[in-house]
Amino acid sequence: MSIIKKMTDEYEDYLHDESRTGGGHADSISFPKSEEEVIAVMKECATSGTEVTVQGGRTGLTAAAVPCGGHLMNLSRMNNIGEISQTREKDEANGKAEPEFSIKTQPGVLLEELTKHLQTEKPGWFFAPDPTETTADTGGIIACNASGARTFRYGTVRDHVSAIRAVLADGEVLAMRRGENFAEGRTLELTSESGRHYCVKLPRYKMPDVTKNTSGYFVKDDMDAIDLFIGSNGTLGIVTEAELELTKKPKFDCGLMFFFSSEEKAIDFTAALRDSDIKPASIEYFDEGSLGILEERRKTDPDYSYIKEVPEGMRAAIFSELHENSEDGLYDKLEQASEMAEGCGGDADDIWVADTPGAMKNMIDFRHAVPSSVNALIDERKKEHPAIAKLGTDMSVPGSRLKDVFKMYRTGLAEQGFESATWGHIGNGHVHVNILPRDEEEFAREHELQAEWAREIVEMGGAVSAEHGVGKNKAFMLKIMYGEDGIEQMRQLKKTLDPLQLLCPGNLFDKE
């Protein structure tokens, strides 16, 4: 019996994701619990020519999981965690062999469940990329190639996925393990488990040379087949199982918050820390707008009274986590980083150090309080101007262009007279500039500024989407990045695997 149900008001929530984009609609919905059920739904939809939008945790910020008609497949009930297995012995420099481990999961396993499971089943090990939103699921973070603060040291989700199983639009299954199937130049041969063959011509564009990039399909000469599916925004196949690599936790860690009287000094410190041999786990930024909004909230909202007061006169902050395997090593690096901050004009008397679990929690809470204060501010403004929303950038540039990109943002914001709050992963050349519209007129002007920034980012050798993916809302930027020709090559690639263009229509590019 089919698990496809007619769409009713009961499922209204599933028409939205965290982008809060309106207009989502679907005719039917399903909640498969197994790969067999995903295959059955896909075969049924392929027979009737019905488009299918795939959903994970719906925490996406680009409307990628918002359906535009057809069938809605929600994977939240495929939430079993599989076995942890030893994958290989790693030769350390001293000749000692170290085991490595990976964990199998179904796509609907939430990151918070994965973390909890590892704490009990494999203490001392963690899933290193650590995207901030813990109600995203493993299928969703693979489809977006998500990343997190610790990507500075540990890489993106892509770097930690060793195998996936994916159901294609025709119901065929591809089982891909990293290191087993490579393209020849830009031609990739794929064979499904039942023996169906697909010869995929990969687009010819060159991806930007940045650590964080989720703008369109990942393609390069002789690439690993698995990488094409990671970050493909649900447009090529439905991930039904993944094997994620685990990382050994450092024996010692601490969090540091450095304050600066200007943005320029904070950028200088970022460059020094980024290029040093300290190798922190993260380098995160908060600008004057973010600190100001947080401070205002701290003073006026009792829910935020636990937040520490920002030292007077400070206009920028850098948060960095250190991960070390010896206590002496940790404190050496802490000292080095503090001296470096002082050398860049930082406030030497007021560096916050979190070297106990309680203090670390306070510091992480401080970090989380910035976006939530900004969201609270926008929610208040929405009462009078319901059509406005916070618009955040997600662009990255090579480290050498950090000063240029800040100049670009500051000039654009000043010219338009926009209020903003900027924070994020500055160590990877990637900050989120959040424009905070005061009314509908300002909101309408933001889109053009984003397009202008996208054009300049591309000229700087950057990516228009660094971690959130493209979905539907950033498709116009993908076109700016790769041009009509690049988009057409992506469309042709998709048509090889999904000739009727059924999977996640509207994501990355419009249907032909």
Ligand X SMILES: Cc1cc2nc3c(=O)[nH]c(=O)nc-3n(C[C@H](O)[C@H](O)[C@H](O)COP(=O)(O)OP(=O)(O)OC[C@H]3O[C@@H](n4cnc5c(N)ncnc54)[C@H](O)[C@@H]3O)c2cc1C
Q: How far is CA 172 from CA 167, 168, 169, 235, in A?
A: 6, 5, 7, 15
Nearer to ligand X, 134 or 492 (CB): 134
| Shortest Å, Cβ 511 to ligand X | 15
Cβ–Cβ < 8 Å for 298, 247: no
| Shortest Å, Cβ 234 to ligand X | 3
Among 65, 228, 449, 490, binds ligand X (CB under 6 A): 65
DSSP state of 157: G
Interacting stretch for ligand X, rule CB under 6 A, among 127-135, 195-203, 342-350, 410-418? 127-135
Spell out the alpha helix ranges (H) of 313-439: 327-343, 357-384, 402-416
106 makes contact with ligand X (CB under 6 A)? no
Question: Site residues for ligand X, window 148-207 (CB under 6 A)?
Answer: 148
134 makes contact with ligand X (CB under 6 A)? no
295 makes contact with ligand X (CB under 6 A)? no
147 makes contact with ligand X (CB under 6 A)? yes
| Shortest Å, Cβ 85 to ligand X | 21
Cβ–Cβ < 8 Å for 416, 383: no
| Shortest Å, Cβ 437 to ligand X | 19
| Shortest Å, Cβ 70 to ligand X | 13
Q: What are phi and psi of 492, to 5 degrees?
A: -65, -40
Nearer to ligand X, 354 or 508 (CB): 508
Whole-angstrom distance, CA of residue 227 vs CA of residue 231: 8
| Shortest Å, Cβ 488 to ligand X | 21
Nearer to ligand X, 58 or 160 (CB): 58
Interacting stretch for ligand X, rule CB under 6 A, among 145-153, 188-196, 342-350, 353-361? 145-153
- Residues binding ligand X: what is the number (CB under 6 A)? 37
Nearer to ligand X, 412 or 429 (CB): 429
Say which residues have a Cβ less than 8 Å from residue 415's Cβ, sequence separation at least 6.
Answer: none
Triad 39, 40, 41: Cα angle to 5°? 90
Interacting stretch for ligand X, rule CB under 6 A, among 8-16, 133-141, 342-350, 385-393? 133-141
Triad 229, 235, 240: Cα angle to 5°? 60
| Shortest Å, Cβ 176 to ligand X | 13
Nearer to ligand X, 136 or 481 (CB): 136
* Ordered DSSP codes for 11-44: GGGGG--TT-----B-SEEE---SHHHHHHHHHH
Place of tokens 């030292």: 311
Triad 424, 426, 431: Cα angle to 5°? 45
Interacting stretch for ligand X, rule CB under 6 A, among 233-241, 271-279, 326-334, 446-454? 233-241
Say which residues have a Cβ less than 8 Å from residue 290's Cβ, sequence separation at least 6.
Answer: 370, 374, 421, 422, 423
- Residue 137 CB-density burial (10 A; 0-12 exposed, 13-18 middle, 19+ buried): buried
18 makes contact with ligand X (CB under 6 A)? yes
Nearer to ligand X, 238 or 341 (CB): 238
| Shortest Å, Cβ 254 to ligand X | 21
Interacting stretch for ligand X, rule CB under 6 A, among 217-225, 281-289, 299-307, 467-475? 467-475
468 makes contact with ligand X (CB under 6 A)? yes
In one letter, which amino acid is 463?
A
64 makes contact with ligand X (CB under 6 A)? yes
| Shortest Å, Cβ 238 to ligand X | 4
- In this structure, what is the dihedral angle of CA atoms 366, 260, 463, 218, given to the nearest 10 degrees? -50
143 makes contact with ligand X (CB under 6 A)? yes
Residue nearest to ligand X (CB): 140
Say which residues have a Cβ less than 8 Å from residue 152's Cβ, sequence separation at least 6.
Answer: 274, 280, 281, 282, 283, 425, 427, 428
Residue 146: which of 128, 125, 162, 163 has the closest Cα? 128
Among 67, 171, 216, 234, binds ligand X (CB under 6 A): 234
Among 7, 15, 29, 136, binds ligand X (CB under 6 A): 136
x/- track of binding to ligand X for residues 20-59 (CB under 6 A) = ----------------------------------xxxxxx
In one letter, which amino acid is 83?
E
Both tokens of residue 326? 């010896």
Whole-angstrom distance, CA of residue 27 vs CA of residue 68: 10
List residues binding ligand X (CB under 6 A): 17-18, 54-61, 64-65, 75, 107, 131-133, 136-137, 139-141, 143-144, 146-148, 233-234, 238-239, 467-469, 471, 504, 507
